[in-house]
Structure 1
Amino acid sequence: MKMMNLKSVIRKKKRRYKKVKPDYIAANILNREFHAAKPMQKLVTDITEFSTTDGRKVYLSAVLDLCTNKIIAHHMDTHSEQSLVTQTFKQIESRIIEGQTIIHTDRGSQYTSHAFHHFIKHTQSIHSMSRPGKCIDNGPIENFWGIIKSEKYYLNSYDTVEALKQDINAYIKFYNTQRVTLKMGLKIPA
């Protein structure tokens, strides 16, 4: 290209998001140690999104207990604002063990906000955060997102937000009470 005096034209990449400085961050205390000896000792949480056929979005916030491997709280809404996380954690606030419950999150804006930090201080829980760009630090909840999407969401199409929410609620109930897992003490046949 140099010999022929050719130059390539490179388009500038457009930024599609606005970088926001987090209100606060926490250390990665969980550090991928996903085993918990007792319930409410280690919790992981995150938000995922689903879409209806006409493009409307439904956001699901869920909390997974690493001891029982069950979803102990969840809330859905058509927006992913702070109230989505607040409503989720109100469901388990009274069960949090002061000074012992570790709540592990990613660095999403809902979890780096003053409101969530206030919740952590109010409940005297321990906040742990994934490192930037390391979704594996929050692996168990990411695994749950893959399971619910492959076993329920991708197999159906939803015309209404209500139908989608109803199916997600039904699946979480099934996941917590009937879905067969190795943690139940079952062994894979050889």
Structure 2
Amino acid sequence: MFNTDQGSQFTSPRFLTPLKAAEIQISMDGKGRAIDNIFIERLWRTVKYEHIYLHAYPDSLDLERGLAKYFHFYNYGRKLQSLD
């Protein structure tokens, strides 16, 4: 399943045709519902600023390994402001 908002780049035939050809289900957030994915947007902002922008990975395999370590830290070691 591929989930997006209803931006013009995601509703264009050029974008949708390959998804449909591959029989991928398409899901779109409700029109005017920009906050539908606010939590995942916040997560990716945190990942980028706390990890990706601080490391220059030479290839995608090293990036994948680095992200696996970061997500383990994010889930089990990172102090959460909301929990003091």
Aligned to 1:161: 60
Conserved 8 A contact 1:130-1:137: yes
Aligned to 1:20: 16
When the two structures are aligned, how many residues end up with a matched partner?
A: 71
Cα distance in 2 for residues equivalent to 1:157 and 1:138: 28
Runs of at least 5 residues in structure 1 that lack an aligned partner in the other structure: 1-14, 24-81, 83-108, 114-128
Change (3 A) 1:152 1:111: farther
Which residue of 68, 73, 83 maps to 1:174?
Answer: 73
Residue identity matched to 2:46: I
What secondary structure does 1:149 align onto? helix
Matches within 5 A, 1:87-166: 110-112=24-26, 130-132=29-31, 134-166=33-65
Residue identity matched to 1:171: Y
Question: Shift in Å at residue 166 of structure 1?
Answer: 0.6
Residue identity matched to 1:137: D
Runs of at least 5 residues in structure 2 that lack an aligned partner in the other structure: 1-8
- Structure ID, larger Rg: 1
Q: Greater strand share, 1 or 2?
A: 1
Runs of 4+ in 1 over 2 A off after TM superposition: 19-23, 132-136
Residue identity matched to 2:26: T
- TM-score, reference length from structure 2: 0.64
Question: Shift in Å at residue 144 of structure 1?
Answer: 0.4
- TM-score, reference length from structure 1: 0.31
Change (3 A) 1:172 1:110: farther
Question: Shift in Å at residue 137 of structure 1?
Answer: 1.2
Cα distance in 1 for residues equivalent to 2:24 and 2:31: 15
Change (3 A) 1:152 1:182: same
